Structure 1
C-alpha cells in the first residue's frame, strides 16, 4: 500500500522539522509526504527543503483557509492509495506505518484513527495535558480506547482515509470547529467501515502551557455544538458532562460563600474527583509533579470545554443564532 501523508502547517517551522525527522525513521518506506503551508507568515520552506533528499516530499503554499480545507488541498494532489493526516505538533514512532499497513491488510478499514500519548521528551506540563486528554476520568478514554462508548470517530491529529472513501465522501466541508468529527460521521453514514488501530500511536504535543490548553479546549466545546448543526443526533448526554461539571464547580464555590450546610457535599465530590485524577496520573506517569499538574490539566480541560459548550449551546440552540 502506498500512503500519502498530509500535513497542514501554519506558522510552525520548528514543529514540522521535528515531525519530518521522525518520518525519516519509518521502517515502512512506501509513502510520500505533502506539507501544505496554509498562508503562514513564518513559513518553513527552508526547513522542509533540507528533507527533500531524505523523503519523497512535496511542499506547497496557499492562502489561509484553515486546516480542514488545507487537508482537502492535499487530498486533491496526493498519489497514494491511502491518505494519512497528522497535525504538525506530532512525533511519529518508527513503526507507525508498518503497524497501519499490517492492520489494514489483516482487517481493512476505510478510515481509521489512532491514539496519542506523551513522548519522553515532553515537559511535565505537556505530559499532564496528554494524561488529561486520555484519562478515563475526563474524556472516558474515548479518544483512543477500543472499549470507548459508541461509534469511534477518528481525530485529525492521527487519522487515515482511503482514496475510495475520499472519492465518495469528498473532503472536509468545514475547516474548523469539529471538522474531523463531522468528516468521520459523514464517511460512516455512507456505509464505510471506520475503526481504531490501537497500536498506531503518535506523540501529540498539544499545548505547552495551560493558557493555550484552555483556549484550545474552549474551542473544542464550541465545536461539539457546531457538529450538532450537521448531525443533531450526535449531541449525546455524555457531551453535556463537562458543562455539568463546570456548573457544579461554580455552584460549589457559591455554596461555600453562602451556605455552610450544603457546601460540604460539593466539596466532597470535588475532593474525590481530584484524588482519582492524582493517584491515577501518578500511577500512569510515576511522577508526583505530573500527578499534581494533571489535576490542573483536568480542571482546565473540563471547565474550558464546558464553558465553550455552554456558550454556543445558549447562542445556537436556545437563541437560535448562527
Structure 2
C-alpha cells in the first residue's frame, strides 16, 4: 500500500512587508513538491503589500496563492491564528514574511511528518543579508542541534521556520496565548503548550529557510528587550527549567560580533549601490 504524503499549507502573516513579501511568496511557490496553498494574511498593511501579492496572483493565475485580510486587531498572533484557522492542509507551515524557503522545504516537511507521532517540526535558517552565509548556516544548524540536547524534554519551535500538524493546532488553539501587550515569543508559547500535552516536536536539519538578519539593526536596548521575551514567556507559563535560558545567553553573547558583521554587510551593499549608480551616469 502506497503511503499518501500529507498536504502542506504555508501561512505567511504580513504587516507592511512590500519589500520582502515578493521573494517570500515566490520561494514558497517554487518548490520541488508543491504546497497545497500559500496563504498571505495581511494585517492592515498601509504600504504596497496587498498590491505586490495581487500582482503575483495575476502573474501566476494557476498558483495556489491566497490573499486574506485580518482586520479585527493589530498583531502577529491573531494574524497567525487567522491564517492557521483558514488553512486546509494536513500540515500547517508557518513562516515570516522575510523568510525565503529553500526549494525542497515542502518536501522535507512531508518527510518529517511521516512519523504520525510528530506534532510539530522546525529547522535551521540561512541569514541571506549577512556575510559568510555558508559558515553561518553551519553554525546556526549546530547551535540549534545543541539546544535540543541542552533543553532535553523541551524542543523549541522557531517561528520563521516551523510546521505544525493541523490536529496539533486544533488541540492547543484555545490555549495559545494572544499576548495583547506583545511581550512574549509566540513560537516559544506554542512549544510550551505542545509540551504540556506531551506532543512530539522534532528538528530537521534539511528543512531550511533563508531569513533576514534585520533584527540585528535594533539598538542594544531594543535587542535586549527582544531576547527577554524568552524570560517573559517562561514566566507567563511558570516554567523554571534553567536549561531553557540557554538561547538567551547565546543571543546576548553573540550580539556584538553579529551586529558588527551586519553593519559591515550593509556598508558593502551601500558601496556597491553607489558604484552601480555612478556606472549608469
Cα 1:162–1:106 change in 2 (3 A) is closer
Of the three residues 81, 90, 114, the one matched with 2:123 is 114
1:35 aligns with 2:37: no
1:92-117 Cα shifts (integer Å, max 9, x gaps) = 11111111112221565111111112
Cα 1:243–1:17 change in 2 (3 A) is closer
1:110-143 Cα shifts (integer Å, max 9, x gaps) = 1111111234xx343x95995798387xxxx137
Q: TM-score by structure 2 length?
A: 0.75
In the other structure, the counterpart of 1:183 is: 190
Residues of 1 paired with 2:232 and 2:243: CA distance? Answer: 16
Residues of 1 paired with 2:27 and 2:172: CA distance? Answer: 31
Cα 1:186–1:238 change in 2 (3 A) is closer
Return structure 1 stretches of 4+ with deviation > 6 angstroms.
243-246, 298-301
Q: Are 1:7 and 1:86, in contact at CA under 8 Å, matched by a contact in 2?
A: yes
Cα 1:77–1:15 change in 2 (3 A) is same
In the other structure, the counterpart of 1:236 is: 242
1:97 aligns with 2:103: no
Structure with bigger gyration radius: 1
Q: How many residues are treated as equivalent by the alignment?
A: 248
1:5 aligns with 2:14: no
In the other structure, the counterpart of 1:87 is: 96
Query: Cα RMSD between the aligned structures?
Result: 3.5
Cα 1:67–1:55 change in 2 (3 A) is same
Residues of 2 paired with 1:245 and 1:170: CA distance? Answer: 29
Tell me, what secondary structure is at the counterpart of 1:11? coil
Cα 1:202–1:216 change in 2 (3 A) is farther
Which residues of structure 1 form unaligned runs of 5+? 247-272, 278-293, 302-322
